[in-house]
């Protein structure tokens, strides 16, 4: 990835952090986008020191259209290009029952998981297609295919993201590839909110008998970010440990 620029939303922690460090270790300059600028700046310092790559930290709530546009402007002002976009930011708050899902919670979940990725992929994908091409990687969830009543707005948003992947691949081909990594349960910040029953379910429902670790997304991310996947677009790769 030397000479490439990669932008990762939700990039300061969990799977996002793992992808940022993997891309930097392979020679990419990186843009670390997350709601909390302190975490972004801390990781940016690590990238500069450990991998000797450029790193731009940007505070961005991807559910806000204007903040997505500002992120794009900052990225292109700093680097003049984005070669890899990873729509990784996600949100799945718990709720007591479906009838108690508030409008604000529903809008927030759709905003982070679907609206933001649409805006960023549309804006950056258009620029990629007009230049030298690139790769867009969406991070989806098994909830898109196996919706749980405890996470239904999130499942609907991720199903929409899978649909966007297919449509954007057609819109921006042949020079821009758009693919999705459909993740199962991973031990990221979201796992801290799991109840004991949820944790047990995620373990017994997996062929590998455990949730994933954040760094286990690296192989799939590097595959889609590089020419290793040069004939792959509009695809959904299940990375779920055999979840069912």
Catalytic residues: 154
Greatest Cα pair distance, the chain, in angstroms, is: 51
DSSP result, the chain: -TT-EEEEETTTSHHHHHHHHHHHHTT-EEEEEES-HHHHHHHHHHHHHHH---EEEEE--TTSHHHHHHHHHHHHHHHS--SEEEE--------S-GGG--HHHHHHHHIIIIIHHHHHHHHHHHHHHHTT-EEEEEEEEGGGTS--GGGHHHHHHHHHHHHHHHHHHHHHTTTEEEEEEEE--BSSGGGGG--HHHHHHHHHTBTTSSPBPGGGGHHHHHHHHSGGGTT--S-EEEESSSB-
C-beta of residue 110 within 8 angstroms of C-beta of residue 158 = no
Tokens 């402007």 correspond to: 73
Q: Angle at Cα 156 formed by Cα 178 and Cα 121, nearest 5°?
A: 25
């Amino acid at each position: 990835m030397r000479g490439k620029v990669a932008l990762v939303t939700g990039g300061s922690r969990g799977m996002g952090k793992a992808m940022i460090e993997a891309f930097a270790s392979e020679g990419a300059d990186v843009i670390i986008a997350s709601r909390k600028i302190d975490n972004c700046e801390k990781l940016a310092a690590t990238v500069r020191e450990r991998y000797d790559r450029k790193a731009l930290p940007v505070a961005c709530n991807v559910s806000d259209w204007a903040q997505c546009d500002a992120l794009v402007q900052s990225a292109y002002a700093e680097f003049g290009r984005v070669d890899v976009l990873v729509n990784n930011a996600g949100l799945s708050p718990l709720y007591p029952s479906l009838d108690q899902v508030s409008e604000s919670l529903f809008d927030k979940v759709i905003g982070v998981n679907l609206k933001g990725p649409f805006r960023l992929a549309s804006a950056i994908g258009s620029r990629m297609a007009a230049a030298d091409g690139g790769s867009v990687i969406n991070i989806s969830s098994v909830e898109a295919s196996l919706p749980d009543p405890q996470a239904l707005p999130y499942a609907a948003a991720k199903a929409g993201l899978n649909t966007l992947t297919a449509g954007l691949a057609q819109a921006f081909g042949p020079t821009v590839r758009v693919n999705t990594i459909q993740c199962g349960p991973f031990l990221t910040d979201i796992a801290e909110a799991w109840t004991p029953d949820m944790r047990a379910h995620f373990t017994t429902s997996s062929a590998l008998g455990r949730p994933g670790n954040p760094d286990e997304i690296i192989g799939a991310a590097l595959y889609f970010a590089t020419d290793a996947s040069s004939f792959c677009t509009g695809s959904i790769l299940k990375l779920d440990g055999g979840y069912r």
